[in-house]
Amino acid sequence: MKNLSVVIPSYNELTNFNAGVLDKVVDYLKQKKLNWEVIIVDDGSTDGSNKKIKAFAKKNNWRFIQNPHQGKAATIKTGVFNARNKYTLFTDFDQATPITEVEKLLPFLKKNYKIVIGSREIKGSSREKEPFYRHLMGKVFNFAVKLITVRGIQDTQCGFKIFNTQTAKELFNSLVVYQPKPEKHAFTGAFDVELLFIANKRGIKIAEVPISWYHASTTRVNPIRDSIRMFFDILKIRLADIFGQYH
Tallying the residues shown for the chain, one arrives at 247
pLDDT of residue 76: 98
Task: Give pLDDT tens digits for 64-75.
Answer: 999 999 999 999
Rounded CA-CA distance 89/70 in Å is 20
The answer to whether 43 touches 72, Cβ cutoff 8 Å, is: yes
Q: Which domain holds residue 20?
A: 4-242
137: enclosing H helix or E strand: helix 132-148
Task: Give pLDDT tens digits for 9-27.
Answer: 999 999 999 999 999 999 9
- Cα separations in angstroms, 156 against 49, 76, 98, 143, 197: 28, 16, 18, 11, 10
pLDDT of residue 220: 65
192 in a structural domain: yes
The answer to whether 205 touches 119, Cβ cutoff 8 Å, is: no
The residue with greater pLDDT, 2 or 167, is 167
247 in a structural domain: no
Pairing of the two strands 37-43 and 4-10: parallel
91 in a structural domain: yes
Can you give the pTM of this predicted structure? 0.95
What is the 8-class DSSP label of residue 39? E
Instruction: Identify the bridge partners of residue 127 per DSSP, sorted by sequence position.
Output: 213
pLDDT at 218 over 80: no
Taking alpha carbons only, the member of 123, 161, 121 closest to residue 139 is 121
163 in a structural domain: yes
The CATH number of whichever domain residue 125 belongs to comes to 3.90.550.10
Rounded CA-CA distance 200/183 in Å is 28
What mean pLDDT do residues 30-56 have?
97
- Cα separations in angstroms, 54 against 16, 28, 46, 121, 245: 14, 20, 14, 34, 38
pLDDT at 8 over 80: yes
What mean pLDDT do residues 138-148 have?
93
In three-state form (DSSP H/G/I as H, E/B as E, the rest C), the secondary structure along 160-184 is EEEEEHHHHHHHHHCCCCCCCCCCC
Radius of gyration over alpha carbons of the chain, in Å? 17
What mean pLDDT do residues 146-161 have?
95
pLDDT at 219 over 80: no
Listed in sequence order, the residues at least 6 apart from 205 whose beta carbon sits closer than 8 Å to its beta carbon are 112, 113, 114, 115
Number of domains in the chain: 1
Q: Which of 10-19, 106-115, 122-131, 205-214 has the lowest mean pLDDT?
A: 122-131
Mean pLDDT score of the chain: 94
The answer to whether 53 touches 64, Cβ cutoff 8 Å, is: yes
